[in-house]
């Protein structure tokens, strides 16, 4: 990965994901360690379309790069990032 290439984090804000906890991910930017903040780009998406594929009970969904995290929490996103940045 080039040093300028940012890791894209997309938080689903579709109705199911929002109701199932995506709203708790809104403060994700402030939870990311300072040394990683310039290396990630976080945005909300209207819908990632994962409820139809993986099931509603795995919401909320977050896409980090090409990988989808189901039942996403701030902790699970940070854990995934720590694996990427180690």
CA dist 17 and 11 (Å) reads: 9
Nearest in space to 80 (alpha carbons), one of 48, 40, 53:
40
Assign 3 a pLDDT band (cuts: 50, 70, 90).
low
Beta-sheet strand order (sheet of 62-64): 40-45, 7-12, 62-64, 67-69
Domain boundaries 7-85, CATH class: alpha beta
Q: What is the pLDDT of residue 2?
A: 47
pLDDT in tens, 16-75: 999 999 989 988 999 999 999 999 999 999 999 998 888 788 999 999 999 999 999 999
Asked if pLDDT for residue 1 goes beyond 50, the answer is no
pTM: 0.88
DSSP-derived letter for residue 51 is H
Domain definitions of the chain by residue range: 7-85
CA dist 12 and 4 (Å) reads: 25
Helices (H), 6-45: 15-19, 28-31, 34-37
């Amino acid at each position: 990965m080039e040093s300028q290439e940012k890791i894209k984090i997309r938080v689903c804000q579709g109705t199911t994901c929002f109701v199932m906890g995506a709203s708790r991910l809104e403060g994700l930017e402030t939870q990311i360690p300072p040394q990683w903040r310039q290396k990630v780009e976080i945005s909300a998406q209207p819908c990632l379309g994962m409820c139809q594929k993986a099931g509603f009970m795995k919401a909320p969904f977050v896409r980090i790069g090409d990988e989808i995290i189901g039942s996403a929490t701030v902790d699970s996103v940070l854990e995934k990032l720590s694996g990427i940045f180690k």
